[in-house]
Amino acid sequence: MDSYTADERKAHGKKLARARTALDDASRIAQNLARSAHSEGVPETQIAAELGVTRMTVRKWLGKQ
């Protein structure tokens, strides 16, 4: 088992927080892109392929669960 100092744990915690923020931002952008494409008539399967997610994820973003 690896051992870390308090400073190392804090540094990794800050890095993780930045990564979560970046992921949240990317997800929000992808959802907006999916909604925009859907409103233009792009098929869900094409949206999913272009955004690198599953069709079910696209459906969830569109509120079609």
Q: How far is CA 9 from CA 1, 34, 43, 61, in A?
A: 15, 37, 45, 35
For 41-65, the pLDDT digits (tens) are 999 999 999 999 999 999 999 999 7
Whole-angstrom distance, CA of residue 8 vs CA of residue 29: 32
Are 7 and 20 in contact by the 8 Å Cβ rule? The answer is: no
User: pTM value?
Assistant: 0.81
Distances (CA, A) of 45 to 10, 53, 56, 65: 41, 9, 9, 15
- Categorize the per-residue pLDDT at 25 as very low, low, confident or very high, splitting at 50, 70 and 90: very high
Sign of CA dihedral 10, 11, 15, 21: positive
